[in-house]
Structures are given as C-alpha cells and as structure tokens.
Amino acid sequence: MRSERDFIRRLQQAATRKRDDIQLDLGDDAAIVTPPPGRHLVVMSDALVEDVHFRRRYVPAEAIGHKALAASLSDCAAMGATPRYCLASLAIPPDAHALAERIIAGLLALADRTQVALVGGDTTASPGGLFIDVALIGDIAPACAVTRAGARPDDFVFVSGTLGAAAAALRAFERKLPPDPAAQARFLFPEPRLKLGQALAKRQLASAMMDISDGLSTDIARLCEASRVGAALEAEAIPIAPAAAAIAGSPEAALHLALDGGEDYELLFTVAPKQVPAVLELREQLAGEGVQLACIGRVTEGAAVMLRLAGATRPLQPGGYDHFMRSP
C-alpha cells in the first residue's frame, strides 16, 4: 500500500455498487442515500480490536473483515431488520498495511451476499494493534422491530443453531491444535441469522429477541433484565455443538462452552404460548436450510435466571465475556 490516497482509490473501485437508492457513496465527505418510504431506519455498530476479538496469527485478514460486518448484521437480524448500507473505519498498524485490502475484501464478500452497500468510512494509522469498526444502517416496517424488552412470564425461550462451536475453535487455536473444520468456519466466518430474524419479526412471532455474541449465560441475563422477568432453562435442551463436546472432555465442560463461550452469533428469542405452533412450523421450513431451532426453557416471574441440570436447579450466573471485567 503506497499511500492512504492510493488505498482509498482502489477501495472505491472495488466497493462502488450502482443502486438507485444511493445518490453519493465513497469518495466524498459523506454518503447520500434514499431510505425506503414508510420504513424506520435501524442503526448499529460493532468494533473489533486486535488481541481482544482476534489474533492475526490464526485469524486471516478476510475473516477479520467478514466478522466485523457479521457482528453488526447479527444485531440487525436480532431486530428483524433488513440491512442496507455500512460504513467501515479501519486503523492499521505499520506491520499490517499489506492486510488492509484483504480485510476489506472479506467485508465486501459478505456485504454482496447480504445486499449491503459500503458507502463510506475512514482510514487511519494505528500505533498499536489493528482496529476495525463497522456501522450498519438497515430498515424495518413500523411496529415490527423486536427488542429485548418484550418477554413475558410463561413465554418459551428458543435459540437458533448450536452453541459453543466458535469457543471450541478458539480453544483449539489457543492450544495450537487443528480445530474442527465446521467449528473453524463458525469462528472465522459466522453467518448472521438474517432470514430467521426477519421472519420472526414480520410474522410477529417473537416477543423479545437478541443475538448471542457474549455467551448464552450473559445474554439471557441481559434479555431478562430488559424485559424485567426471569427465566428457567433446561440444560439438557441446550443445543451443544459437536466440536464443543469433542474438545471439552466432559459433558459439564461442554455445557460450560455452550453457556459461556460466546461468538455464536445465533438468535435468542422468546415466544408467547399461542405463537409456539407457528414457530414450530417455521422450524420445519428452515430445517432444509440447515437452521435449527431449540426450545430451552420458559420465562418466569421475578428476576432470577435458573438452570435445571441433573434434577437440580441452580442460579445461572453470567459467565460470558465482559470487556470491562477481563483482560485480553
């Protein structure tokens, strides 16, 4: 990369997409877009920091770009929104100049698959590690967005996919072991559940929803706090990824990875009893696409989050990642 100007020029060539809703995109001081009429805008952002979210020794540049966008797309899925545009800001240390275009290539590959246009951002030098922030703009029909605050006692608790695969791959990488291929893909190139989130929102099937990024134990606590409810989860119903079971060494350790591992980017949502048949019908429709849904518990009155395991019930403490409580 000879200069920042040269990088931006090549970025414009790679990222510019001709769309009727984009009047001005990369290359000016700001982008100008036309939002769909009658829809609400949904705005979110996520940042990835080297040695906090990834290590370059086992995360390729394309995966950094992919995951940076995927994290925001997962938030978009949790709202039930349709993603439209993104902006990416990249801080590059001197020893990573050669990676910049590959990072953006990874982001653009996912953006094209999800019909998201990169319309702006920023580049700067970093005196330390690599940093990337992606802001995402989507839209949704009025009164259709699903928040964390709608769960009610007696609702059922569902999760998509399996949990613990990304944590299993991370553990393998940190131990310098070859990770399970499926788990490696889940860790490096997570697939946001956009179609599922949009279906749940459009059909008004979910009473509350969020994505699982910091671990089920932490994120169920956040959802319950927002909804002012509690939850009772069944350990045996939690879908543990095969790779988590294989690397953990015991059923208890595998459950720990599924509860606390994080970076699953699956959806956690609650469903009123009357909507359960419709959700089960949706589950059958999605099964052919490789997306599974599991009911893992019920919403309860009060504020306690409990886990039933081997006939005993105990409090489920948030054990996922907390950026202000743990060192990298």
**Can you tell me the distance from the alpha carbon of 245 to that of 164, in angstroms, rounded to the nearest whole number?**
8
pLDDT for res 324: 63
Domains and CATH numbers, the chain: 4-140 (3.30.1330.10), 156-315 (3.90.650.10)
**Can you tell me the distance from the alpha carbon of 60 to that of 126, in angstroms, rounded to the nearest whole number?**
19
pTM: 0.94
**Can you tell me the distance from the alpha carbon of 189 to that of 65, in angstroms, rounded to the nearest whole number?**
9
SS3 122: strand
The secondary structure element, H or E, covering residue 265 is none
pLDDT for res 9: 78
As a three-state string, the secondary structure of 9-54 is HHHHHHHCCCCCCEEECCCCCCCEECCCCCCEEEEEEEEEEECCCE
One digit per residue, the tens of pLDDT, for the chain of length 328 reads 567 777 777 777 777 778 999 999 888 889 999 999 999 999 999 999 999 999 999 999 999 999 999 999 999 999 999 999 999 999 999 988 889 999 999 999 999 999 999 999 888 889 989 999 999 999 999 999 999 999 999 999 999 999 999 999 999 999 999 999 999 999 999 999 999 999 999 999 999 999 999 999 999 999 999 999 999 999 999 999 999 999 999 999 999 999 999 999 999 999 999 999 999 999 999 988 889 999 999 999 999 999 999 999 999 999 976 666 654 3
Please give the full DSSP string across 139-167, using - where no structure is assigned. EE-TT----TT---TT-EEEEES-BSHHH
pLDDT for res 325: 64
pLDDT for res 8: 76
CA distances in angstroms from 291 to 161, 254, 294, listed in the order given: 6, 21, 10
pLDDT for res 25: 85
**Can you tell me the distance from the alpha carbon of 296 to that of 232, in angstroms, rounded to the nearest whole number?**
9
Q: Which amino acid is at 104?
A: I
Question: Which pairing describes strands 266-271 and 156-160: parallel, antiparallel, or unpaired?
Answer: antiparallel
**Can you tell me the distance from the alpha carbon of 318 to that of 222, in angstroms, rounded to the nearest whole number?**
9
